[in-house]
Structure 1
């Protein structure tokens, strides 16, 4: 691996734990980094800033090419240093970058401290103007998510898109979310001594879903439970009309073959009110979808959530009416619920304790010499505080 310095101090020890994020890939990428000229020992003047270095990085054969010249290596590492920045494909990130020649193209992997990474994640996943406790809860589950994926044996740990968790680098950073990251430094949710699966969605619609009903995977802390705190979202309640052609197309994607559709209904719902069985009636018979396929079909109709009811009759002039509540899969933390709990005065630990019951709060660190994440200092997450009693006005004669 070819390693270059990002100015003086670039080869100094990294902070506690680094994460490697795939931020761009393509036939060629432009990489820019600001550098400072090394001081002249014969001069008393401070080093003058040098204009930004800009490289066009591509692949030629097995090696990378820099501005058209063979780099002599399939990888190029610009290591992170305190305060270092790098721009890849027009986006600026903290830390350094690892460039890899892969299948005739180039991958750019941002390498940075986990806490700096979260500064570009939390505001991309939750509105920065929301209450501090909700932002802190989002910071902890984002840190938990990535800590479970740090694996030095792989080329990178996570990606920057919704396929992983959204990461937008320096441009996304906000004062409020930076404060949430600092306030929760190192905190993760743990279960059985390992990072918990901290799934979250936008709005539970008033009732969280279990991991078993959505994905067929039973995790004891991802349960179906009433969630009266998840209110006020734009998808709290919704209704849509779906044409017969759209319904048929969605059904065909699930291999439903009943001739011309006449009726579609949710015939069994889960404890959380999400579709667990959908029955299709047509000119050629009756068939059913169950489990995750039932919920997937409802979502394929354009529904924001599978916590929905279907009106039934379908025809050329009769659209299928879909009515429901919530947005997303509903498993784990509801972001609107976290906001509601924060508005009621609950802190981030109690928010996490509600949405991931039976889990513990732990502290994240790096295993010496390995770059791997380890957890320590486990303690149970607290339950919600009881609501404050209403003040009763006194009156004479009582």
Structure 2
């Protein structure tokens, strides 16, 4: 009670100070112990199931249906009866089991039977990952959309994090790195749960997040004792800045520096705790020219880099001019259609999304803008038909796809720092790269890309957290390093929503 009073007084003082400074008071923090809503994907980037098989495990499940999620009525209970087979027919959900069929209406739920002990988990047909068959706790909400089924898994946030952590960070990482990841993942989840619909697309689909790398990977790997420990030992811990939840972005591997949020995503506002941070000691990062960038990325010695244990700390890939032309002829139009504000024609007759567009002969690439840590945020493509500007880090990475599905030839090999060759990488691992040209006279023949890191570069580098943990840093110190000026805050307990 005394602690609660102190927290309340601190919140009041913070609000009064903010008002006195002419700033709005931060929104109230959520309580811990809430449920999160996860939209499940049928395939990468697809969220509608043609049909769905759900198998209850360990305890009896109840199936309910109705005209909307608030008015669901029990239909039947099931355990050990085989899979429940759901389909969408004429705007209604139908389910069959043991030769019986039930009409559930436009919405349905599969959840624990309130009259039976225990809480079931669910296997979902088509959601296995190799030999791993993920189990889904909580409850499943089904709806009909575009003649197919959408599925939202509603579950306790701690249970969600138990399945996020091993999917996002190797469980053999030191405990302090795992705890830093747990806090970042929990903060990220709460920020998405509390975001208004206009700032969270998934809210329009009845969810807070999806289960993929669009947000946080959920149930990509089974829970592990080490990651369970990290989740348990950080119960309720989140990062705040001036009393509000932070945007706790994270990524796999830095090339030696992180990036400021507005550099990578120019449509986002500058944030004091998401600034470029050097991930080296005693090595320094000094990239002020393309010559220095190439020298930096050609340095494959990991000593002095926090991320030096990552296989993608450094990488390289080589593409011939004809391979690059085949790639760019597809990626430039696709990127123009997806984000026209970041892809445009500087010189030439047609924009890349026009049917008349022809790439022509590739003459070269040119860096127009690069962060101090080496991430390219603006790039120019020069061809015989014109010059084309590409902005935003993700577009730069997706412009050059070292994948035979784009080149049309044999496997394209990306060499990792540890010597492993990865065939047909879907995009460049990061936008932190430079290149060497091979020419015959003025004619471009080949580009060899030398790069570093994996991911967007904003926030916490997971392999950087590994390096700091091995150097003896606590999870508090790791988080302070990657999100400077933030506070580690423990949420008060509350009821589930």
Given that 2:173 and 2:466 are in contact with CA atoms closer than 8 Å, whether structure 1 keeps it comes out as: yes
* Map of 1:167 onto structure 2: 218
Structure 1, unpaired ranges of 5+: 1-14, 39-48, 372-398
* Map of 1:26 onto structure 2: 49
Q: Which moved more, 1:346-355 or 1:283-292?
A: 283-292
Equivalent of 1:78, from 104, 110, 114? 110
Normalized against structure 1, the TM-score is what? 0.77
* Map of 1:69 onto structure 2: 101
SS at match of 2:264: helix
* Map of 1:375 onto structure 2: none
* Map of 2:467 onto structure 1: 340
Equivalent of 1:324, from 447, 451, 454? 451
Given that 2:56 and 2:122 are in contact with CA atoms closer than 8 Å, whether structure 1 keeps it comes out as: yes
Cα deviation digits, residues 300-341 of structure 1 (max 9, x gap): 464322111122456777211111211111111111100000
Instruction: Mark the CA change 1:231 to 1:298 in structure 2 (over 3 Å): closer, same or farther.
Output: farther
Structure 2, unpaired ranges of 5+: 1-31, 43-47, 62-77, 128-133, 198-202, 281-305, 333-342, 349-358, 403-426
Distance in 2 of aligned mates of 1:109 and 1:306: 33
For the pair 1:129 / 2:181, whether they are aligned, the reply is no
Report the aligned-residue RMSD: 3.1
CA deviation after TM superposition for structure 1 residue 263, in Å:
2.7
Given that 2:437 and 2:444 are in contact with CA atoms closer than 8 Å, whether structure 1 keeps it comes out as: no
Cα deviation digits, residues 136-164 of structure 1 (max 9, x gap): 11111111121122269751222112222
Structure number with the higher strand fraction is 1
Given that 2:95 and 2:101 are in contact with CA atoms closer than 8 Å, whether structure 1 keeps it comes out as: yes
Instruction: Mark the CA change 1:88 to 1:319 in structure 2 (over 3 Å): closer, same or farther.
Output: same
Instruction: Mark the CA change 1:35 to 1:126 in structure 2 (over 3 Å): closer, same or farther.
Output: closer
* Map of 1:227 onto structure 2: 279
Distance in 1 of aligned mates of 2:395 and 2:140: 43
TM alignment of 1:239-258, pairs within 5 A: 239-252=316-329, 253=332, 254=343
Instruction: Mark the CA change 1:52 to 1:141 in structure 2 (over 3 Å): closer, same or farther.
Output: farther
Distance in 2 of aligned mates of 1:55 and 1:285: 57
* Paired positions, count: 345
Q: Which moved more, 1:325-334 or 1:264-273?
A: 264-273
For the pair 1:356 / 2:483, whether they are aligned, the reply is yes
Equivalent of 1:201, from 247, 251, 269? 251
CA deviation after TM superposition for structure 1 residue 246, in Å:
3.3
TM alignment of 1:183-202, pairs within 5 A: 183-202=233-252
Distance in 1 of aligned mates of 2:79 and 2:327: 57
Structure number with the higher helix fraction is 2
Instruction: Mark the CA change 1:365 to 1:326 in structure 2 (over 3 Å): closer, same or farther.
Output: same
Distance in 2 of aligned mates of 1:136 and 1:262: 48
